[in-house]
Amino acid sequence: MTPPQIELRGVGKSYSGTTVLENLSLSLARGSRLALLGPSGSGKSTILNLIAGFSQPDTGDILIAGQPVARIPAHKRQVGVVFQNYALFPHLTVAENIAYPLRRRSVAKAEIGQRVNEVLGTMRLSAFGARPIAALSGGQQQRVAIARAIATRPDVVLMDEPMSALDRALRDELQVELKSLLTQMDATVIYVTHDQREAMALADNIAVINHGCLEQLGPTETLYRTPASAFVARFLTGASSLEARVSGQQPDGALRLAFADGSTLFGNWRAPGPVPNIGEVVELVVRPEDILVDTSGVMNEGTMAATIDLVIFEGSHRMVRLRLVNGDTLVSRRPAEDALVTGTSVRVGWAPQAGRAYPVIPKAAVS
Which residues in this chain contact ligand ADP in the complex, by CB under 6 A?
15, 20, 38, 40-46
Per residue, what are the HEC states of 319-354?
EEEEEECCCCEEEEEEECCCCCCCCCEEEEECCHHH
CB of residue 43 vs ligand ADP: minimum separation in angstroms?
4
CB of 83 vs ligand ADP, minimal distance in Å: 11
Backbone angles phi, psi at 322, to 5 degrees: -115, 125
**Cβ-based nearer residue to ligand ADP, 19 or 295:** 19
Closest CA to 49 of 29, 27, 69, 33: 69
CB of 8 to ligand ADP, least distance (A): 14
State which H helix or E strand residue 147 sits in. Answer: helix 138-151
Q: Between the CA atoms of 169, 189, 238 and 142, what dihedral angle is there, to the nearest 10 degrees?
A: -20
Strands 67-68 vs 59-64: parallel, antiparallel or unpaired:
antiparallel
User: Closest separation between CB of residue 242 and ligand ADP, Å?
Assistant: 27
In the complex with ligand ADP, the residue whose CB is nearer, 42 or 237, is 42
Q: How far is the CB of 42 from ligand ADP (least distance, A)?
A: 4
Cβ at position 358, least distance to ligand ADP in Å: 23
Residue (84 or 175) nearer to ligand ADP, CB = 84
- Select 25 or 250, whichever has its Cβ closest to ligand ADP: 25
Which amino acid would we find at residue 280?
E
Residue closer to ligand ADP by CB (options 38, 302) is 38
Residue 96: strand, helix, or coil: helix
What are 255's strand-pairing partners? 249, 267
Least CB distance from residue 198 to ligand ADP, whole Å? 14
Neighbours of 250 (CB within 10 A): 11
CB of 43 or CB of 60, closer to ligand ADP:
43
User: Residue 46 or residue 152: which is nearer to ligand ADP going by CB?
Assistant: 46
Q: What residues are paired with 294 via a beta bridge?
A: 347
Give the nearest distance from C-beta 62 to ligand ADP in angstroms. 15
Q: How far apart are the first and last CA of the chain?
A: 41
Count of other CB atoms within 10 angstroms of residue 301: 10
- CA 137 from chain center: how many Å? 26
Q: What is the spatial distance between Cα 238 and Cα 271, in angstroms, rounded to a whole number?
A: 18
Pick the closer one to ligand ADP by CB: 37 or 98. Answer: 37
Q: Which neighbouring-strand residues pair with 81?
A: 158
For the CA atoms of 199, 203, 204, 206, the dihedral, rounded to the nearest 10 degrees, stands at: -50
User: Reduced to 3 states, what is the DSSP secondary structure of residue 317?
Assistant: strand
Least distance to ligand ADP, CB of residue 37, Å = 9
Complex with ligand ADP: residue 305 or 365, whichever CB lies closer: 365
